[in-house]
Structure formats: structure tokens, C-alpha cells
Chain A
């Protein structure tokens, strides 16, 4: 087990190395003169030279790379071009809302989608199943930000049940914190829910055909016991995989959802940085988001070993 975990841990190193090389060379190999584009439309040549010096682009590439990598390994992601604040600090300040939104979406999506998928598999080819599959197909096509506006229109504007937008930290109280996360979580989570419901159904259908399920039913076990203890546990490996893969969807969607709902998290930081062409911030965000994704994949790989003792590689 320890050997397996260590091997998985080591396997994340080349992935992160490629990500780091990518953000480094993207700035150096981008077509045109990135420094001129970052400096803006009507920048003077001094301003462009200043941006170039700030990004270290005026030195030889090999030297740039060593300096850049050395500071990155020490946790230094450079400073913002506009505010001159360290990127790590800017990211740290915006971390909480994004983590709160991601976790609440994860919770809402898994809590709704897994039971829906189980019921659909149990009632396969009945009306419930067709409704669930229909929802799954629609969920895949629904752009999160469009759904977000539909939800705002009904729940916040027409019926005035929930706030239109904004964010309150948990320290402001549980309900003010939670009520502002409900609509964003549903909007962000719809594709994710569709994905989880579909895989849960497929995986459950496969398991429900196994002989031991027939045995469990034949010996008169209650349906819920068979479905949950016997079937769902054995159907869980693909479901967990998809929950993990889907976190990538969430991370991409966070940027847009935070913009719609005016949540001051990493997504908003990204958008502000893009509009100001503040590359050091964009670069830092890519590294953080990619690291989060790699970490989630690692957790999933390790969780397989616990869920399915046959997996040992």
C-alpha cells in the first residue's frame, strides 16, 4: 500500500513539471510581443521596456528559467504587474470563497446525483429512468452561466426567495453564508450532476445483473439494503472516478459562476487579471488550479485501493 501511494505521488511530478514548463514557455513563445500587449494599446516604449524588465524578459532565456524555477520552488510566484503585490498573497486572499463554492457544489451534486442514478438503475426503462436520462442529456448541454441567469430570474427576481448575488464568509453566520451559495452551486453543478447521475446509473445497472444480487434478493433482504450495501458499494469505483474527473469541470466553471454571482474568489481574480493582462497572476492561478486537479486525481487513485482491494499496481 505504501509503495503504491509513493508511486502515485511520484507520478504527479512529471505532470506538474509539464504544467510549469507550459506557463513558462507560453509567455516566451507567444506570437508577437507579449510585453507590448500587456503594457496596453498606447504604451510608450519605456513602459513596454518596464514590463519586459518586470517579467524578466530582458535576460537570456536560460537565466530566466533558472531564476523563475528557483523562486517557484520556494513558493514565490512573482508580483502582479499592476498592484505590485505578491501573487501568492493575492491568491491566498481569494481562496476561501472559491473553496466554499467548490465544496458546496460537490456536496449538492453528489447528494442529489448519486441517489437519482441509483433510482434510475433500480427502475430501469421506467418513467423515472427516462426522466433522469432526459435530465442528464439536458444537463450536458446547459451552459452553467445561462442556467445561473434562469435561476436568478426565478428564485431571486420573481419569487425573491434567495439573494441575487454576493458572498458572505462563514463567520457572518451559517444561513447568510449558505443562502448565497445555493444558486451558484446548482448552476455550477448541473453538468456535474448529469455526469454523476449517468455513470451511477450505468455502473449500478452492470452490478445489478450480477449473481450475488439475485442471491441477496432471493434470500429476502430488503431492497434498500441490497441497493445500497450490496450494489452501490461495488458500483462505486467508476462513480468515484467520475466525481474526480468532474472536479475539473467545476474548476473551469468556477471562473464563470463567480463572475455571474459576483463572488470575490479566484475566478474573479482570474477575470480581473485577464482584463488587465496581468500575466503573473494568470500564471500563478494556472499552477494552483492544476495542482488542485492533480491532487484530486491523486486522492482518487489512492481511494481505489481502499474501495477495491483487487487494485494494487
Chain B
């Protein structure tokens, strides 16, 4: 009896990864997949079986085999090594777009929700930006600049920021009218402290959830831009570029497209699962609506 009581008393404190994973299978699956991909990206030079840039015309269009795990492309480059390196581009773009647009979106969203005077003008600009299909907006920016990873990231951030601003602003507007905010104002709390201490924490859960979706969408847009020839420079092994370069020989060498495509789909899936799991965990009200 005493043993059982001990167990019960201890159980909430005994944190086990396995129990946590069983309680939140979506977060666990998404997190593990994403962690594996991040490790693959970081250790790409160790994992790759050959130089991803090395052109070997003798070995062109070899099907997947023990030597060439994912086959080779029309220049004899190793698709496995290129795919492993491609994870770097996708993850860098996804994570940096998610991070930067969250910070910008949070600042603008807080400002719009709290200082009503700038709300009208900023939100009209956001509406206008949202009316432009994101891939076209990115394309327009890229037409006018030299290709590079940085400009791709900027080009994707611009259409993603309004989505974050809307979410944050909606939360701020609903928080503003709460009695505890009114009493804080009545108590003479300064704007900066009020925003940081009382308003900001409420926006974090929806912000984190939204930023995972922004991350997934950024990776899809990057791959799409590279596929169209408007993304990172063609010599960079990104998944979109590998797929674009495989187009001509797709019918005889489908592996050059299907394998990097599968990696892209799994990466986006992992981020989305993480986002869905976090949403259910952090924002139960929204979860019930979907």
C-alpha cells in the first residue's frame, strides 16, 4: 500500500520522454522527423557518399544502386549527396523565414492592436500584400535583384508577415478589453511594460503555432521558386533545383525528381505535424474549431 502511495506521489514529477510522446504523438513524430533532418543537414559532409558538385559524365543517369543510393543525374552527380545537402537550403529558408517574420509580425501586430491610430493604415498595407499571391510577390522581387539565398529569404518574408500580423493583432484586440488590462492602465502602468508583461505573453501560443505553418509554407515556396529557376542559384543543391534539373530526363530517370520530392514532402509534413500538435496543446480553442 505504501509503495503504491509513493508511486502516485512521485508520478507527476517523474518525467519520461516516452510518456510525453504517447500523450502527444503528433508533436513526437514531427519533432523526431525534424530533428533527424536537422542532423542530416548539419552533418551533410559526413553523411554524403560523394562530392555533391562533382560532375562525372561517365556515371550519368545511373539508377539507384549500392554505389549510387539515389542514382545519378544527367551530369553524373550523386543524387543522394545532393539531396542530403539540399536539406540545408530548405531548413535555413524555413527556419529563418519563420523566425524573422514572427519577430516582425509580432512587433507590427502588437503595435496595430494596441495603438489604434496606426492600425488602419498598417492593416490596409497588409491587406494589399495579402492580395498578391506569395509566389508572384517573391518572383517580382527576384526579377529585380541578383539571385541568392538572402534575397529568396527576404522575398518569402514579405508575403508571410501579414499572416502573422493578423493573428497577433486579433489576440491583442481581444486582450485589450479584459478587466486586468484596464486595471493595469488605471494603476498607471506604462505602455511598454503593459505590452511586454501583460499583452505579449498571451500572443505567444498562437504566434508559435502560426510560425510553424509559416515555416512549412516558406519551404514549399522556396522549392517552388528554385523549381521555376527564380530561387537560389542553379549550382546550389536545393531540392527545388535538383527537381528542376531532373525535368528533362524525368521519363528515363524519375529518381532525380521523386526522391528529393519525397524529402521535401516529409520535411513539410514534419513541420506541419509539429504545428498541429502544438496547436492542440497550446491553443485548445482553435483546435476544437478545426
Contact = CB atoms under 8 A, between A and B. Distances in A.
Interface string B253-290: 01001100110111011001100100000000000011
A149 B261 contact: yes
B161 to A, nearest CB: 13
A293 interface: yes
Most buried by A among B220, B230, B269: B220
Interface string A188-221: 0000000000110010000000000000000000
A85 interface: no
B86 to A, nearest CB: 13
B228 A290 contact: no
B127 A15 contact: yes
A44 to B, nearest CB: 19
Interface string A2-33: 00000000000011111101110011001110
Contacts of B258: 146, 149-150, 153
Given A30-B144, A274-B142, A274-B229, A143 B224 contact: yes
A210 to B, nearest CB: 16
A31 B145 CA distance: 7
B216 interface: yes
Contacts of A146: 243, 257-258, 261-262, 264-265
A293 B144 contact: no
A37 B129 contact: no
B214 to A, nearest CB: 13
B144 A252 contact: no
B136 A255 contact: yes
A308 to B, nearest CB: 17
Contacts of B128: 14-19, 21-22
Contact of B129 (A18, A150, A271, A273): A18
Interface string B123-147: 0110111011111110111111110
B269 A141 contact: yes
Contacts of A252: 133-136, 224
A140 interface: yes
B228 A143 contact: no
Contacts of B276: 137
B251 interface: yes
Contact of B265 (A14, A17, A143): A143
Contacts of B134: 252
Contacts, number: 156
B236 interface: no
Contact of B146 (A14, A23, A37, A153): A37
Given A137-B276, A202-B289, A274-B230, A143 B268 contact: yes
A259 B227 contact: yes
B111 interface: no
B223 interface: yes
Given A150-B258, A256-B224, A274-B229, A32 B145 contact: yes
A255 B139 CA distance: 11
B145 A149 contact: no
A283 B228 contact: no
A34 B261 contact: no
Contacts of B289: 202
B131 A275 contact: no
A30 B131 contact: no
A21 B121 CA distance: 14
A289 B136 contact: yes
Contacts of A274: 139, 142-143, 228-230
Most buried by A among B140, B257, B269, B290: B140
| 4 residue pairs, one from A and one from B, having the closest CB atoms | A18-B128, A146-B261, A141-B269, A30-B144
19 contacts: A16-B128, A19-B131, A19-B132, A21-B128, A23-B140, A26-B144, A30-B145, A137-B272, A137-B273, A138-B269, A140-B272, A142-B265, A143-B261, A145-B243, A146-B243, A275-B230, A279-B140, A282-B143, A294-B131
